[in-house]
Amino acid sequence: MALGYYTVANRLILILTEFLGGTVNHVAWPAFARLQDDPDRLRNGFYSASQMLGLVLFPMFFGVLAVASNIIPFMFGQQWEQSIQIVQVLVFIGIIHSLTK
């Protein structure tokens, strides 16, 4: 059953990171490809994209951290309430994962 709690918590974090991170990747990679011959602009573009992603991700993940006790029962049902603490830990891993993806 412990693996189930982890799976539910991880699924919530992955939904958030894939949704936002995937959207950013679809925009950023073509832009970075155009800048591949200009390392300075590529580096600056990467830093700018990372900062903007962080401006969105940090509040979103901390929001999930704050309302995890309501989100888990709503999305997955009362039987998965033990996943709440796992979500609260995985939020921080999700931030790191999203920024390094």
- CA 71 to chain CA mean position, Å: 16
Q: Got the DSSP string for 16-50?
A: HHHHHHHHHHHHHHHHHHHTTT-HHHHHHHHHHHH
- Sites in the chain below the pLDDT cut of 70: 97-101
- Would you list the domain boundaries of the chain? 2-100
pLDDT in tens, 23-50: 777 888 888 889 889 999 999 988 888 7
Q: Got the DSSP string for 54-81?
A: HHHHHHHHHHHHHHHHHHHHHHH-GGGT
What is the reported pLDDT for 41?
Answer: 92
What is the reported pLDDT for 38?
Answer: 92
